Amino acid sequence: MDEFIRIEHLNQRFDLSEPWLARMIYRRPKKFLDAVDDVSFGIERGKTYALVGESGSGKSTIARMAVGLLTPTGGRVLIDGQDLHDGSLSVAEQRRIRQRLQMVFQSPYASLNPRWRVGSILAEPLRVFRLVDGPQAEQARVHELLEQVGLSASDARRFPHEFSGGQRQRISIARALASKPDFIVCDEPTSALDVSVQAQVLNLLKQLQRDLGLTYLFITHDLAVVRVMAHRIGVLKSGKLVEEQATEKLIESPQSDYTRMLIRSAPRIHRAAS
Amino acid sequence: MSESILRVQNLRVVFPHRHGELVAIDDVSFEVKKGEILGFVGESGAGKSMTGAAIIGLIDPPGYVEQGEIWLEDQRIDQLDMRAFTKIRGRRISMVFQDPLTSLNPLRTIGDQLIETIQMHLPVSQEEAKRKAMAGLEEVGIDPARFNAYPHEFSGGMRQRVVIALALSAEPELIIADEPTTALDVSVQAQVLELLKKLCRERNASVILITHDMGVIAETTDRVAVLYAGRLAEIGPTEKVLHQPEHPYTRGLIASTPSVELGNIDTELFQIEGAMPRLDALPTGCAFHPRCEHAQDRCVEQRPDLLQERVACWLYADG
Amino acid sequence: MNGEKSAWQRFLASDFFYDFKRSPVTIVSFVIVVTLILMAILADLVAPTNPFDPGSLNLMNGFTPPMEPNAFTGETFLLGTDDQGRDLLSAIIYGLRVSLFVGLTAVILAMFIGVSLGLLAGYRGGWVDAVIMRIADIQVTFPSILIAVLIFGVARGLLPPDLRDELAITVLIVAIGLSEWVPFARTVRGTTMVEKEKEYVQAARLIGLGSSQIMVRHILPNVLSPVLVIATITLALAIIAEATLSFLGVGAPPTEPSLGTLIRIGQDFLFSGEWWILLFPAVTLLALALSVNLLGDWLRDTLNPRLK
């Protein structure tokens, strides 16, 4: 198996203790919450792995650790065998790994800086990673990115508020693609969108995966969405991985009660006659 | 045919704006029968919440009902003043909102709030009100021992149950539920919807359920109205609309909703191109025509009205 | 939609300008502020005489009432003259220049300190935040004018006597600037704490941008609109603070009188019947401070979407 990313015994413990003085006065112990508790899984190159869970299951916390936005309190994230959170890596090495990891966020409103033009938003990663030479090449690449996600080159001059939710999510995707990553974490990328627009964005993500060979970690609460998006699914509950299986197998014959309950509760338009 | 509890005719809601006015709801007519659950489905900006707000007289200024009539049985309610309306709101029509915290006072126990609501609307003694409140809590599956708990002591799903108990406490004839489960996890959503359905059936109360989720519509409602850009696109029995949708928008909406039971990684979801127009840039004719694969010249020029009280689309005109 | 528009056309079509047009009070305030600022900038061209040129002064003109010909020289002055025969209108215009210069520079200084510290406190959090905000807390328990007097006193004590008058204006600016940074820091800290959780900041962190770049390039532009409002309101405060300090005799030196200095001078003559020497500088100060304040209030209401 050719795994791009391997997550090993990942742990994230949050300190929820009261302030020191309050603890001393009321003699309360420190309080911790294991938001992510010993989670391990791997994602094959070019495939999509979906983490499904309800609110508070720790899925977004794992997403943030997988791209290096948050340092785990235990366990490792291996990118092509290299530990992402290894403190001994040189700055250049870290930069090289970072460039391969990207993320598409949930909110189409908060994920784009409202004061920046779309062109500058897309150009930023190009400059940071020194991927283009000169303003002309930069502009050409920005236009290429916009067209890749179904927008037009002239949109580079506009501000985020001039776009609809679905279009903003396309811009977010274009920004994620700018650094030519191998791996993109999609954190509930369509849960704030209307259904008809959700379909557009999901189809775009799938097409980009086919064209560019991207590996996805797809975070969602919606089992219906993962059915068409993911090759493999992991079900999370209270920070623990309850079950992990190839998509169809998991949905057709779930092993745990929790997964069964999730599948049963998903509202559906056409319920199979029972 | 059973009697109707609510009748809305040619409702038009506008928001004055510096460049003229924005029409948020245009020429919407429907009725709600006694004991029926009517769904309103549509995407953001379709006007579904606005319709609910118009019925209960809670449109945010500067918006106002410019045209149309709203009848609660044989009483016309769209022209009532605030005082007359408070007698209806909460008593005969009550609301359940998306965020349960907006309907609950964080500083008072849920028991107090229930008793207050009951006594405001029903002529009962303190003891009787308390008994009713306890019974109400039990009905929504909350231990009456938690009568003196505060809203923050409950989880989101439990809070929404309290809100439902509150909404039902004055024995209303109509409940308007605006995205009541959108903020909840799926597992809790199913329970809350089931509860709402069961209690309304028992009391023969009618419900207007506003949601963006076709699945919720399918599982909960008797009839459904599909809204697009402030107009009714299609209305009819849920079974029929979902299985034989007529309006191209309804068809697209259903086809683009992913299903837990169908499809795999190679499935391409059906997509409707474009997005819902903004109210300040509504297309001419049928508002859906720029996104419609069946659009004809007529759709660009002329606005279709509801045909055979079912669908507003030129495809079905003239037989 | 309708092609490319110039920035000016876009401005004329904006909600901002639309709100402005509909508020007569704001328009009047704006006109007053702009007129006063233009007068201050163009003082050399606008003022009838140069009050600092001893050659142009004629002691015979002293105490001429407004609009009345002087008994000795027959000259008429629009707003009268002071004890030295200085044309009051010219003195006010030049005084306005000093007041506005001190006020604006002090606000810029306060803004720079406040915004920087606020950004740092809000973005870093933890002990950095605690230290900065406790200093702010301590500072606001003193009236800002007291702080200004303290700073002023210390600075004058440290400076050699021959530099005191020369640097008086600079000391004044630093004193007022240091006493008004707290509201900037508090507001910016609050907004920064909200903004830094937003996903566009996460996206910037993801590509490895450093904290300072994220603060300056991403967060700063998004916290500026409340800063603009505070700056306007603080400008009114700073102008009044400068006037108060000068009135107390610890501000602008008599060689470069500000509005406050003029008011102090005028005060001496109030009870001997020469009311105009006090009244006109005071009215000018009032008009300036009030208009700036009204503009600030309007800006706050317009830029705050919650009030709409």
Residue A66 C-alpha, separation from nearest chain C C-alpha, in angstroms: 11
- Chain A residues bordering chain B (beta-carbon distance below 8 Å): 48, 54-55, 164-167, 194-200, 202-203, 206, 221-225, 227-231, 247-248, 251, 261-272
Residue C220 C-alpha, separation from nearest chain A C-alpha, in angstroms: 10
Residue A163 C-alpha, separation from nearest chain C C-alpha, in angstroms: 13
pLDDT in the model for residue B261: 84
Residues 233-262 of A with CB under 8 A from C: none
The answer to whether residue B130 sits within a structural domain is no
Q: Do B214 and A195 touch (CB under 8 A)?
A: yes
Residues 149-208 of C with CB under 8 A from A: 198-200, 202-208
Q: Which residues of B touch A274 (CB under 8 A)?
A: none
Segment A84-99 mean pLDDT: 86
pLDDT in the model for residue B231: 92
Q: Which residues of B touch A48 (CB under 8 A)?
A: 265
Residue spans of chain B under pLDDT 50: 1, 319
Residues 204-223 of C with CB under 8 A from A: 204-209, 218, 221-222
Q: Is residue A89 within 8 angstroms of chain C, CB to CB?
A: no
Band of pLDDT at residue C3, cut at 50, 70 and 90: very low
Q: Which residues of C touch A71 (CB under 8 A)?
A: none
Please provide residue B176's backbone torsions phi and psi, each rounded to the nearest 5 degrees. -105, 115
Residue A147 C-alpha, separation from nearest chain C C-alpha, in angstroms: 20
Among A74-83, B135-144, C271-280, the least confident range: C271-280
C-alpha–C-alpha distance, residues B152 and B159, integer Å: 8
pLDDT in the model for residue A196: 85
Maximum mean pLDDT: which of B215-229, C73-87, C133-147, C234-248: B215-229
pLDDT tens per residue, range B100-142? 878 889 899 999 999 999 998 888 999 999 999 999 999 888 8
Architecture of domain C30-49+78-303: Orthogonal Bundle (1.10)
Which residue matches tokens 């977004």?
A60
Tell me if residue A24 falls in helix, strand or coil.
Answer: helix
The answer to whether residue B239 sits within a structural domain is yes
Across the A:B interface, residue pairs with CB atoms under 8 Å apart total 120
Band of pLDDT at residue A212, cut at 50, 70 and 90: very high
Residue A78 C-alpha, separation from nearest chain C C-alpha, in angstroms: 17
Q: Do A267 and B216 touch (CB under 8 A)?
A: yes
Q: Which residues of C touch A128 (CB under 8 A)?
A: 207-209
The answer to whether residue B139 sits within a structural domain is no
Q: Do A247 and B186 touch (CB under 8 A)?
A: no
Helix ranges (H only) for chain A are 20-26, 59-66, 91-100, 118-128, 134-148, 165-178, 195-212, 223-229, 247-252, 257-265
B138-145 contacts at long range (C-beta below 8 A, 24 or more positions apart): B139/B165, B139/B168, B139/B199, B140/B164, B140/B165, B140/B168, B140/B195, B140/B199, B141/B191, B141/B195
Q: Do C221 and A115 touch (CB under 8 A)?
A: yes
Q: Report the relative pairing of strands A215-220 and B223-228 from DSSP bridges.
A: unpaired
Q: What are the residues whose beta carbons fall under 8 Å from the beta carbon of C146, sequence distance 6 or more?
A: none
Q: Any idea what the CATH number is for the domain that residue B56 is in?
A: 3.40.50.300
pLDDT tens per residue, range C240-261? 888 888 888 777 777 788 888 8
Q: Do A106 and C199 touch (CB under 8 A)?
A: yes
Percent pLDDT > 90 in chain A is 71
Number of folded domains that form chain B: 1
Q: Do A111 and C203 touch (CB under 8 A)?
A: yes
Determine what percent of chain A falls in helix, strand and coil, rounding each to the nearest 5.
40, 25, 35
Q: Report the relative pairing of strands B174-178 and B93-96 from DSSP bridges.
A: parallel
In Å, how far are A96, A107, A231, B221, C126 from A65, measured between CA atoms?
Answer: 17, 19, 21, 42, 22
- Per CATH, which fold does A3-265 belong to? Rossmann fold (3.40.50)
Instruction: Find chains touching chain B: ≥3 CB pairs under 8 Å.
Output: A
Beta strands in chain B (DSSP E): 4-17, 20-33, 37-41, 64-72, 75-76, 93-96, 174-178, 206-211, 223-228, 231-237
The answer to whether residue B208 sits within a structural domain is yes
Q: Do C207 and A128 touch (CB under 8 A)?
A: yes
Segment A25-35 mean pLDDT: 84
Q: Do A270 and B215 touch (CB under 8 A)?
A: no
Choosing among A113, A116, A122, A177, which should be mutated to test the C contact, i.e. which has the most C CBs within 10 A? A113
The one-letter code for the residue type at A85 is H
Question: Bridge partners of B9?
Answer: B69
Nearest to C198 among A103, A110, A175 (CB): A110
Among B158-162, C47-51, C213-217, the least confident range: C47-51
Residue in A closest to C4 by C-alpha: A157
C-alpha–C-alpha distance, residues B7 and C287, integer Å: 59
Residue A237 C-alpha, separation from nearest chain B C-alpha, in angstroms: 12
Range of the domain at B66: 4-92+172-262+269-316
pLDDT in the model for residue A274: 37
Band of pLDDT at residue C1, cut at 50, 70 and 90: very low
